[in-house]
Amino acid sequence: MTKQTTQAPLGSPAIALPPTSVVTLKINGEERQLHIAPWTTLLDALREYLDLTGTKKGCDHGQCGACTVLVDGRRINSCLTLAVMQEGADITTIEGLGTEQNLHPLQQAFIDHDAFQCGYCTPGQICSAAALLTEGKAKTTAEIRELMSGNVCRCGAYTNIVAAIEEVLTTQKVQRHE
């Protein structure tokens, strides 16, 4: 069987394929090369091209925080940044924070404090909390609430989320003084 090529009829306009960019992203410690449209958001690159579906698409406008990931240790809304802008950056998603056998302390604290209901916002909450702990700015409950205010929980599990973060923050303080 021979391969056939379909051509547009003479005189008809050629159909142009959208341009693609080659981008190399370091995600969860692994370099991945993608051929994507230049307008592809980091969120869509993670979910649609790399099958990393832990990062959630909530509002797609940067208002809910469900898509929060860490870029060079800073929390960002992945729906608001283009994937091509993250070339060379160190990107960590919820899949890269811990493993099933060795959970990140925040993942364990969220379980212990029942800090989720439907769980849709949980990956973004945990990534945001991980950055919050690294930043070292949160010292009180009020500061935790303020610094986590970019992450919306529609189920209202805020009290348990804050309790989970406080537990890890307290554990880190104790370990530093040992």
Confidence (pLDDT) at 8? 46
DSSP state of 82: B
Confidence (pLDDT) at 26? 98
Tell me the longest C-alpha to C-alpha distance in the chain. 79
Mean pLDDT of 51-60: 97
Confidence (pLDDT) at 174? 72
* Full-model pTM: 0.87
pLDDT interval class at 178 (50, 70, 90):
low
Q: Which residues of 144-168 are buried (b: 16+ CB within 10 A; e: fewer)?
A: beebbeebbbeeebbebbbbbbbbb
**Which domains occur in the chain, in start order?**
21-97 (3.10.20.30), 105-177 (1.10.150.120)
Mean pLDDT of 16-20: 77
Confidence (pLDDT) at 173? 77
Concatenated DSSP letters of 5-67: ---PPTTSPPPPPPP-EEEEEEETTEEEEEEE-TT-BHHHIIIIIS--TTS--SSSSSSS-TT
- CA angle in degrees (0–180, nearest 5) for 119-122-127: 165
DSSP state of 122: H
Confidence (pLDDT) at 23? 95
Confidence (pLDDT) at 18? 73
Confidence (pLDDT) at 175? 76
pLDDT interval class at 19 (50, 70, 90):
confident
Confidence (pLDDT) at 15? 66
Cβ–Cβ < 8 Å for 137, 143: yes
Mean pLDDT of 39-43: 98
Confidence (pLDDT) at 4? 45
Phi and psi dihedrals of 34, rounded to 5?
-125, 145
SS3 156: coil
